[in-house]
Amino acid sequence: MAKLCEDWQWTIRTISAAVAAVSALSPQRSGYLTPLSSLTEATARIGRARSVEDVVDTIRSTARSVIGCEGIAFIRREGDLCHYVEEDAIGPLWKGHKFPASACISGWAMINKQTAVVADVANDGRIPYELYEKTFVKALAMAPVRTDNPIAAIGAYWSHEYEPSRWEVEVLEALASAAATAIENISLLSSLTSADSHEVCSSEKPAEQDFQRDVERVCAIAAVPAILDIVLRMTGMGFAAVARVTEDRWIACQVLDNVEFGLKPGDELAIESTLCNEIRDHRQPIVFDDAAVDPQYRDHHTPRIYGLRSYISIPIILANGQFFGTLCAIDPNPAKVDSPQVVGTFKLFAELIGQHLDSGDRMAATEASLERERELAELREQFIAVLGHDLRNPIAAVEAGTSRLLRDGWTERSPMVLKLMKSSLSRMSGLVDSVMDLARARLGGGIVLSLSQGDINETLAQVVEELRVAHPHRVIVSDIQIGQSITADHLRMAQLFSNLVANAITHGAADEAVRIRGGIEAGQVEICVSNGGKPIPAEKLDKLFQPFRRGDAASSMQGLGLGLYIAYQIAQAHNGRIDVTSDATETCFILRMPVA
């Protein structure tokens, strides 16, 4: 998750570079200016990939248009070789070929753990020019995938001598970083799924609650009652059972009792009194037709304690070698059981029960893994959604400011516009951290604050100006009079306030003003954000602060339903709360939090 934020930090820096270029209004700026939406979509698609092949295919299909180059290639490191596994270019490159890492530029980038930029392939000692001479490639940039221990590289190629701009190089590196994160997540999920699907407890002393689960596992095997019936019919014996046997427990999991021996599923025998205790140690069958005449068992305590004459017990061993228990049958009378046919049949049935138990474990592990994967997928989607949601306002401010500069050129208001744009970019960088906060909130850790004392009026005024620039046709009336410094996380407070005001703009009546009032009442900061329009139904008020919930369910409304959830989590982290009232006159969200 930390790497995901690093990827978005690349994105923020590339936006900063673009704004710097616009503010300079330099006519010498050249190259392809990648839209943020294209880069966001590409990194989101990479993040959603479910296999390495999906990652490679996404890069192949998106990177050229995002960077603006004439060719793209994905190169995988295979030991001392570089394997060009995929490409998308105006002419053929080296797809399917392998080269020594020491003899190609992709190998140089991976060995040196840094991006290689070559403005002229004919005049760079790192380039084997004979390989490039018959291709269209005249310039390139090659970024390693994972800088600490590169596993691959992404190359961008141009058909003319060209010095890629910082913007283009950082976009390439952002794609490489996103690919590294996606590949690591895929590898992690794959290993977790593999481990879960084969994981069984190796301890011979399971926890108390596990025994009931063992009983339920055996009872869930539909074949066990039929197996017990068959072995009693075949041997003429009166009692058969599948038992869970550990170092200190003997527990009946499933029984068929035709002689009123008295055991039911879940009942126990003293482990020391059973022959199964010995089977657990040596893992060999114990079989005798008549204990009274058997030289090994005629003086044994088990037949004497339970009054049995005939006995057969076969160990049940799971696929990983764990001893589970036994399939056994007893009778107070002699029976012909010590024969290859009977013993062989019992062994087959014991193996069948063991296989069913293994299948059940694998199924349960798979279901648990799938549930975790669903949770991870939901969290991953929330990452993408929260970025899209919370970055919308500052991005809109940057877009509006850029459009104004391009339309009007340099005017007396340009410095102010650029200042707002720079502030918006700073907030965008900070908002990337909120992705981690959402994860912590969902996983129970809570949002972490960075507290400082400062002027909350200034913090909130900046947000209002951003939103006015982003929504020039909406009237926002602000009257915030907080006459003292407040100890808070001011970046998070700006995020909270932005979400409340943006919610009012989105869901309020377009022809009515959004009104903001703020002050200190009874030692608490109180900020009210209100709007006119259709009231929120009473039955939906208690669900407003849940993720992906909205007061107005109309599909035409923009927004992902995350703003209020995030705002509420930030308020809680400040020991505050957000209350809401809504009627035909206005809808008002009120933040209340302690001054200190």
Tell me the CATH architecture of domain 208-364: 2-Layer Sandwich (3.30)
Write the DSSP assignment of 88-150 as a string of letters.
EESS---TT-EEEGGGSHHHHHHHHTS-EEES-GGG-TTS-HHHHTTSS-SEEEEEEESSSS-
> How does strand 476-480 pair with strand 514-521?
parallel
CB atoms within 10 A of CB 411: 11
Greater confidence (76 vs 201) lies with: 76
Distance CA 452, CA 489 (A): 6
Contact 109/193 with Cβ under 8 angstroms? no
Fold match between domain 208-364 and domain 449-594: no
Q: Name residue 30's amino acid.
A: S
- Residue 174's pLDDT is 82
Angle at 305 between CA 303 and CA 309, to 5 degrees: 25
Distance CA 36, CA 567 (A): 25
Domain limits of the chain?
31-195, 208-364, 449-594
Beta bridge partners of 313: 286, 328
The highest-level CATH class for domain 31-195 is alpha beta
The total number of residues written for the chain in this structure = 596
- Express as a percent the part of the chain with pLDDT over 70: 80
Q: How many CA atoms lie within 13 A of 58 on its CB side?
A: 24
Query: What are the tens digits of pLDDT across the range 74-124?
Result: 999 888 788 898 999 998 888 888 777 877 899 999 999 999 999 999 998
Entry pTM: 0.36
Contact 501/517 with Cβ under 8 angstroms? no
- Say yes or no to pLDDT of 30 above 80: no
pLDDT-derived band at 254, boundaries 50, 70, 90:
very high
- Running DSSP on this structure, what letter comes out for residue 574? T
- Which stretch of 26-40, 206-220, 240-254 has the lowest confidence by average pLDDT? 26-40
- In the structure encoding, which two tokens stand for residue 157, read together? 């190629």
Greater confidence (194 vs 383) lies with: 383
Contact 268/251 with Cβ under 8 angstroms? yes
* pLDDT, average across residues 487-515: 90
Residue 557, H or E segment: none
Instruction: Write the burial class of residue 321 (CB in 10 Å: 0-12 exposed, 13-18 middle, 19+ buried).
Output: exposed
Within 264-341, strands assigned E span: 268-269, 286-288, 310-317, 323-331
Helix axes 166-198, 2-24, angle to 10 degrees: 170
Report which of 88, 43, 382, 53 is spatially closest to residue 181, judged by C-alpha positions: 43
| Contacts of 263 by beta carbon, 8 Å cutoff, 6+ apart | 239, 241, 252, 255, 257, 269
- Which stretch of 45-54, 183-192, 305-314, 357-366 has the lowest confidence by average pLDDT? 183-192
Please check whether the domain covering 449-594 is classified as CATH 3.30.565.10.
Answer: yes
Contact 113/151 with Cβ under 8 angstroms? no
- Say yes or no to pLDDT of 136 above 90: yes
Report which of 392, 520, 418, 397 is spatially closest to residue 464, judged by C-alpha positions: 397
- Running DSSP on this structure, what letter comes out for residue 8? H
> How does strand 152-158 pair with strand 71-78?
antiparallel
pLDDT-derived band at 579, boundaries 50, 70, 90:
very high
Sheet of 587-594, strands arranged across: 476-480, 514-521, 524-531, 587-594, 577-582
Contact 132/103 with Cβ under 8 angstroms? no
Greater confidence (442 vs 588) lies with: 588
- Say yes or no to pLDDT of 170 above 90: no
The answer to whether the Cα torsion of 387, 183, 63, 110 is positive or negative is: positive
Contact 495/434 with Cβ under 8 angstroms? yes
Beta bridge partners of 225: none
- Running DSSP on this structure, what letter comes out for residue 346? H
